Amino acid sequence: MNIIVLVKQTFDTEEKIAIQDGKVVEEGVSFVVNPYDEYAIEEAVKIKETLGADVTVLSIGPARVENAIRTALAMGADQAVLIEEEELPGDEQVLAKVLAAAIRNRPFDLILAGNTSVDNGAGQVALRLAEELNIPHVSTAVKLSVESGKAVVARDVEGNLEVIEAPLPLLVTAQQGLNEPRYPSLPGVMKAKKKPLERVKIADLGLSPEDLTPRVDIVDQYLRPERKAGKILSGDLAAQTKELVQLLHNEAKVV
Amino acid sequence: MHFIMFYGFIIIRFGALELILKGFFEGYEWPLGDAHKFFSLLQEITVSLVLLATFYAFYRRYIEKLPRLKRGLKSGMVIIFLTCLMISTLLSLAFEQVWLGHEGSVYAPVSGLIADAFSGIGSTAGGALFYVFWWVHLLTLLSFLVYIPQSKHSHLLFAPVNVALRDTRPAGRLSPINFEDETTEEYGVGKIEDFKQNQLIDLYACVECGRCTSMCPAAGTGKTLSPMNLITKMRDHLTEKGAAVTSRTAWMPAFVFKGQSGSADPAEMPNLIGDVITEEELWACTTCRNCEDQCPVANEHVAKIVDMRRYLVLTEGSMPQEAARYFQNIERQSNPWGLNRKERSAWREGREDIQVPTVEETEDFEYLFFVGSMGSYDMRSQKIAQSFAKILNHAGVKFAILGNEERSSGDTARRMGNEFLFQQLCQENIELFKAYNVKKIVTIDPHIYNTLKNEYPEFGLGAEVYHHTELIWKLIEEGRLKLTKPVDESVAYHDSCYLGRYNNIYDIPRKILGAVPGVKVLEMERSRADSMCCGAGGGMMWLEEKQGKRINIARTEQALKLFPTVIGTNCPYCLTMMTDGVKAKEMEEQVRTLDIAEIVEKAI
Amino acid sequence: MSRKVLVLAETRDGKIRNVTYEALSVAQTIAQGGEIAAAVLGGSEPENVSLLAEFGAQRVYVVNDERLNQYTPDAYVQAFTGLVKEAGPDVILLGHTAVGRDLAPRAASRLGAGLISDVTGVEPAGDDIIFTRPIYSGKAFQKKRIRSGPVFATIRPNNIPLAEKKAGQAAEKIAYQPQIRDIRTIVKEIVRKESSGIDLTEAKIIVAGGRGVKNENGFKLLQVLADVLGGAVGASRGACDAGYCDYSLQIGQTGKVVTPDLYIACGISGAIQHVAGMSNSKVIVAINTDEKAPIFNIADYGIVGDLFASCTSSCSTASSSSGSAPLN
C-alpha cells in the first residue's frame, strides 16, 4: 500500500506574530510540523505498522522545511519529496495544482493531510488536491480503518459522528482526536537523517502559466488590535452576578 | 539487633569451626593454650546474645508485626535456622562437658549450667546427646550455607561488596550516555543484562528489610511502585534469565526446587520492562532517593528506574502523553509549558521595587541568578524570584540573569529519561555561561542547583553553584543582611529532596529561619533525611498521578498536623505542591505557604 | 458595480441556519443592485423561501434530489457547481460550516475559481470586494480580494451583523434539476452526540469550563447556565484532559476557534493556548477564584469568586430577569 502524507511547516502556535510591510516576520521564530499534519503522519505510520505500507511525505517551501520533513521521517515515514521554493505559490488553487502535478505520476492508495493549517487556517488545499486528482475525500477524520481497497472513516461533524465508507484511492484529512502523535525515538531520529529526500522545483512539474496564476491577492496584513482593560466586579457574590447580568444586557448587549 | 548479628557471626564462626572439629576429634580445642577459656567465654556470651537477638527479631517481625517486614515462611526460615544453630551450639557444648566429664567453669557459664542440669545422665548418654546436637548443628549450618546464596541471605556475601564498591560521587548523580555513535539502536536499559555489574550486585545485596518501601512516597500513597519489590522482582528475573541463558538451574539441589528451576527458552522470557517491571511503576517514581537513603546495603534504586525510563523514551519513544508534550515544549520554547520564550524575563516587571539586569544589560555582576522555568513563568514561583531579587538588591549583591536566553536546565528531562535532551540543554547552557564569563551561579530551585553543581561539571561547567538559601545565610553571617522586622509565624519547615537528601543542606535554612525574629520553626515528624517528598520530582509535576492518594496531599496533612501558620519551603515545586495541598484541604485562610526567601524578605 | 450573488442556504433539520442570513446580509452590501439568489439543496420546509426573501433573496433555487438529503461531497459538488454554471453568479457565498468547509474548496477548484475562506468582514471597494479574515488563530488578520473570475467566499458564523429583516418580501422560486452522476462516498451511519444541539463554532453565547470546574457534575451546572442563556458549553484543554468533558468541547489552539458574542470563562486560568481559541469573542466574562489569573487581563468583566456559586446565582438572575429567547 502506498500512502502520501502532505506536511506543512508552520510557526509554533506559541509564537508572537510580528508584521512588517504587510508581511509576517519569520526571524527568530520556532517552526514546527503543523499540528494537524502530525495526526496525518501518525496515522500513516500506524497503517504502515499494522498493514504494511510505503509512506512518502510531500511538502513545499523553503529549505527550512527540511526540518519538518525529518521529523516526519523520524516518526516512521520512509522517504520524502520537497518542492523547494523560497515563497509559497500565490493561492490555494495554484498550490493544489502544484501538489497534484507532483503526485500524479506516483503510485498512491491513500493521501493523508491535516484538515487545516494553524497559520493560514483556510483548510482548502487538501480538498482542492482531491478535486485536481479526481479522487473522493473524507474530511475531519477522527477514526480511520483501511481494508482491501476501501476505507471506513468516522468524521467529526459539528459534534456528530458520521461514519463514511469510501473506495481507494482516497484523500483523508485529519481532525484532532484521530490519534496521539508519537514522540520520535532517538534511533528514529538518527535513521531519519539518512532517509531519501527528493528535491523538486515547480518549474520541473510541467505546469502552464495559467495554472500558476493566482486568483486571489493579499491586500494587507495587520495585527489584532489590543483589547482594552476590563472591569472586575465587587461586592458579595449575589450582587456581583446581578450587576454582571445587567451589564451584559444593557452595556454589552449580548443577552 | 543487626549489630549483634553482624559482629556476633564473625566471632561465632571460629567457635562453629571448633565445634565441627570436636565431632571428629574428641574434645578438640583450638590450640590457644591458657587463653582458650577466654575464647570459650567469648563464644558463649556471643552465642547467647545472638540467641536473644534472634528472639528480638522474631518479636519485631511476628509480634510487633512491623509493616515493612514480611511474615511468610521464607522470612521465618532464617529465624528458625538461627535459633537452631544457637541452641544446638549451646547444647552441644553442654553435652560435651557431660560426656567428657568436664567440670563446670565460669568461662562456660551457659553450657555449664545446662551441663550441670544433666550431669546425672552419665558419660555415654552425654556423648550420644552431644552427637545428636552436633549433627543438628552441622546439618543446620550446612543447609544454611546452601540456602544463603539462594535467598535474600546472599546479602551476607553481596552487601559488604556493594558497600565497598559504592559510588562515592555526589548522591544520585546519573551517568551520561555517549551519543556519538549514530548507529546505536538501543539506549538505556531494556534487558536485565544491560545494567552495569555493580547495579546487578544491588539485586543480591537486598535483604528485603522493606525500609525503602516504607519511606517511598509513591508506595505510601497507594501506587504500584515499591522500591523493594522493584529490586526483588529484578533479582528473581535475573536469576531465571540466567538459568535460561546458561541452561542450568539456579537452584541447588535441583530436585528440591523442581518447581522453580527454569530451563526456559531465553527468547520466551518475560520482558524486563512491561512484564517484570510495569511502565506504571517506572513513571510513578519522584526520584526522591528516600529509598537509597534508607537502604542498609547501599542499593541504588533510582538510577535503575532512570535507566529503564531512558530505554522507553529514547529507544522506543514511549512515554505518557504529558511527558511527550513536556519534551516538545522544552524543545520548542525552552520551558515546560511551551510558553513563548521571549516572555521568560517578563517576571521582572511584576514588581517595581526590584532591579534585575540581564547579562546583556550589565557586565558587572558577581552572581548569575539562574531563575529557572518555574521562577520565570509560574505565577506563584515568580514571587520567589522577585523576593530573592529584592533581598539581593537590599544586600547590595551584584547579579544578573540570562534573560530570554536562559534555557531549561534539563534536570527534569534527564530524570524522565530523555538524556539526549538533557545533554543538549546542558551544552547550550554551559556555552552561555562561558560566553558571559559566569563564575558564580545562584538559583532558587534545588533541582537546578543539584544538576548544575553535581552533573554539569562533567560536561565542562567551571562555575561555583549556590542555592539561594546558602547565599542568604552567607549574607546574614557577613552582616550584609539584617533581619529586623518581626515575622510572627509558626513555620512548619519542609525539607526538599534535592536540597536535603541530594545535597545534605538541612541546617542552613533552619539557621536562616532562626535568625528571623518572631519565627518559630516546627519540625515535622518526617524531617531532614527522612523528609517526605512533595510529589513533584522525577517529572511527576508534569504527569498525572493515576493511582491512590496524591502525594502532595499526604505531605500537606503531615504539615498541618503541627498547626502551623506557614508552611516553609525552599523549592518552587514544593511550594506549588504544598500550596495546592493546602487548597485541597481548604485551609488557605489559616495556613500560607512561603519560600524562605519570601519569609526573609518580610524581615528586612 | 452591480453583482449577481448566489448564497448557499444551509439548513439543519429543515430549518435555515443563522449563517445563511448572515451571508444574505453580506450579499445585500455587495450586490449593489444585482440579483441576490439563494440555493437550497435537499429537502426543506416550504416557508424557507419566504424566510430567505425576508433577508434579501430575490430568487430561490430549490434543488431537490433525494441524493441531496444527506450531505456527501460528490452529490453537493456536482449539484452546486451545476447550478452555478447555469445561474452564472459573480459572487458565491457559503457559511464556513462543516458543509461549507467541505464543499467550497472542491467546488472552487471545479469552477477554476479562487476561494477566500473563513471571512469575518466584507467591504466593497470600487470594483473589488475586500474580504477580511483571521490568520494565526486570530492573532493577525489579512485582507484579500479575488483578482479574476467568480468571487467565492465562506463566511465565519457570528461575525457579520444581520441586515434588517424585511417582512412580507417574496422571492421567485425556481426548481433546478441537478445532474448527479456517481457518489463515491457512502454515509453508513450518523451518531448524534448528546449535546444541547447548538454548535460550538456557531454559538453566540458560550459558557466554558476549565480545570476549576473540578468534575463532570460541574459541567452539568455550566450546561444549565448555557441553556438559560441560550448558548453552548465549551471547555479548556485542561478540563478535557482531566476527563470532565468530551474533547469535542475543547476550545483553543488545538481545539475549536470560536467567536461568540459572549464568552463566559469559568475556572479557566487564561493560558495563551486557550485564549487563542476565544480571544475574538465580543465580550469576555471571567469567573475565577484566583484574582491574578491571566484571564482577567483579557476579560471585559470579571468576578473573583467561586464559579459554582456564581453560575447558580447567574442562572437564577438571568432566567428571572431578561428571559430573552434562545438564539439559534
Q: What is the mean pLDDT of residues C1-23?
A: 91
CA–CA separation, B521 and B512 (whole Å)? 10
Band of residue B106 on the pLDDT scale cut at 50, 70, 90: confident
Give me the CATH number covering residue C277. 3.40.50.1220
pLDDT at B263: 53
What is the per-residue pLDDT for C323?
43
Contact check, Cβ <8 Å, A14/B333 = yes
> Which residues 269-308 in chain C show a CB within 8 A of chain B?
271-273, 292, 294
The answer on C279 and C154 residing in a single domain is no
Q: Give me the domain span that covers residue A233.
A: 227-255
Name chain B contacts of C273, Cβ cutoff 8 Å. Answer: 338
The grid coordinates of residue B452 equal: 548544575
Q: How far is C184 from chain A (nearest CA, A)?
A: 6
Residue A46 lies in a domain: yes
Q: How many angstroms from the chain centroid is the CA of residue B120?
A: 58
Q: Distance between CA A109 and CA B497 in Å, rounded?
A: 55
Residues C147 and C285 in one domain: no
DSSP for C19-62 reads HHHHHHHHHHHHHTTS-EEEEEES---TTHHHHHHHTT-SEEEE
Contacts of B251-260 with CB under 8 Å at 24 or more apart are B251/B150, B252/B146, B252/B150, B253/B146, B257/B150
What is the rounded CA–CA span in Å between residue B523 and residue B255? 56
Contact status, residue A85 vs residue A201, Cβ threshold 8 Å: yes
pLDDT in tens, C89-141: 999 999 999 999 999 999 999 999 999 999 999 999 989 999 999 999 888 99
Contact indicator for C93, C8 with CB cutoff of 8 Å:
yes
Q: Do B332 and A188 touch (CB under 8 A)?
A: no
Distance CA A94, CA A215 (A): 9
Question: CATH number, domain at C98?
Answer: 3.40.50.620
At B259 the pLDDT is 54
Radius of gyration (C-alpha) of chain C in whole angstroms: 21
Determine, yes or no, domain membership for A99: yes
Rounded CA separation B431/C69 (Å) = 65
Q: Are B289 and B172 in contact (CB under 8 A)?
A: yes
Is A84 found in the same domain as A124?
yes
Give the C-alpha separation, A190 to B234, whole Å: 31
Residues C219 and C109 in one domain: no
Q: Is B342 helix (H, G, I), strand (E, B) or coil?
A: helix
Average pLDDT in chain C: 88
Confidence of residue B530 (pLDDT cuts 50, 70, 90): very high
Return all residues near B424 (Cβ < 8 A) that are at least 6 apart.
B410
Residue of C nearest to B584 (CA): C214
> Are the CB atoms for B58 and B65 separated by under 8 Å?
no
Instruction: Residue B337: list chain C partners with CB under 8 A.
Output: 271
Contact between chains at B338 and C273 (C-beta distance less than 8 A):
yes
* Same domain assignment for residues A151 and A236: no
User: In sequence order, what are the beta bridge partners of C115?
Assistant: C152
Do the domain assignments include residue A75? Answer: yes
The answer to whether the CB atoms of B379 and C292 lie below 8 A apart is: yes
- Reported as a pLDDT band with limits 50, 70 and 90, residue C328 is very low
Q: How high is the ipTM of this complex?
A: 0.91
The reply to whether A38 falls in a domain is yes
Residues of A in contact with C280 (CB under 8 A): 224
Q: How many Å lie between the alpha carbon of A14 and the closest alpha carbon of chain B?
A: 6
Residue B285 to residue B193: CA distance in whole angstroms: 22
**How far does C52 lie from chain A, in Å, by closest CA?**
23
Listed in sequence order, the DSSP H helices in B247-348 are 279-282, 290-294, 301-310, 321-333
Shortest alpha-carbon distance between residue A201 and chain C (Å): 23
Q: Do B337 and C271 touch (CB under 8 A)?
A: yes
C263 in a structural domain: yes
Find, in chain C, the residue whose alpha carbon is nearest to that of A19: C140
Residue pair B551/B595 in contact (Cβ under 8 Å)? The answer is no
**Residues spanned by the domain of C101:** 5-176
Q: Which residues from chain C sit within 8 angstroms of residue A216, using beta carbons?
A: 114-116, 144-147
pLDDT in tens, A118-176: 999 999 999 999 999 999 999 999 999 999 889 999 998 887 899 999 999 999 999 98
Query: Is A171 within a domain?
Result: yes
Burial of residue B99 (CB within 10 Å: 0-12, 13-18, 19+) is: buried
- Coil, helix or strand for B107? coil
Res. A232: pLDDT tops 50: yes
Domains and CATH numbers, chain B: 2-150 (no CATH), 183-316 (1.10.1060), 337-476 (3.40.50.1860), 481-603 (3.40.50)
Mean pLDDT of B575-599: 90
Q: Does the distance separating the beta carbons of B324 and A182 come in below 8 Å?
A: yes
Which three cell numbers mark B64?
510487633
- Rounded CA-CA distance B264/A232 in Å is 71
Tell me, yes or no, whether C312 lies in a domain.
yes
Please tell me the distance in Å from C275's CA to the nearest CA on chain B. 13
Nearest CA in chain C to B343: C272
Same-domain check for residues C69 and C161: yes
| Chain A with chain B: Cβ pairs closer than 8 A | 48
User: Could you give the count of Cα atoms lying within 13 Å of A178 in the half-sphere of its Cβ?
Assistant: 34
Pick from A93, A118, A240: which is nearest to C305 by CB? A240
Instruction: Report residue C112 as a C-alpha cell.
Output: 477554476
Which 3-state string (H, E, C) describes chain A?
CEEEEECCEEECCCCCCCEECCEECCCCCCEEECHHHHHHHHHHHHHHHHHCCEEEEEEEECCCHHHHHHHHHHHCCCEEEEEECCCCCCCHHHHHHHHHHHHHCCCCCEEEEECCCCCCCCCCHHHHHHHHHCCCEEEEEEEEEEECCEEEEEEEECCEEEEEEEECCEEEEECCCCCCCCCCCHHHHHHHCCCCEEEECHHHHCCCCCCCCCCEEEEEEEECCCCCCCEECCCCHHHHHHHHHHHHHHHCCCC
Residue among A155, A146, A162, A152 at smallest CA distance from A176: A155
Kindly state the cell numbers that stand for A155.
468524521
Give the list of residues 6+ apart from residue B525 with CB closer than 8 angstroms, or none.
B558, B561
- Predicted confidence band of residue B340 (pLDDT cuts 50, 70, 90): confident
Q: How far apart are CA B541 and CA B580, in angstroms?
A: 12
Supply the pTM of this predicted model.
0.84
Q: Are residues C100 and C47 in the same domain?
A: yes
How large is the average pLDDT for residues B122-132? 86
Cβ count within 10 A of residue B511 = 14
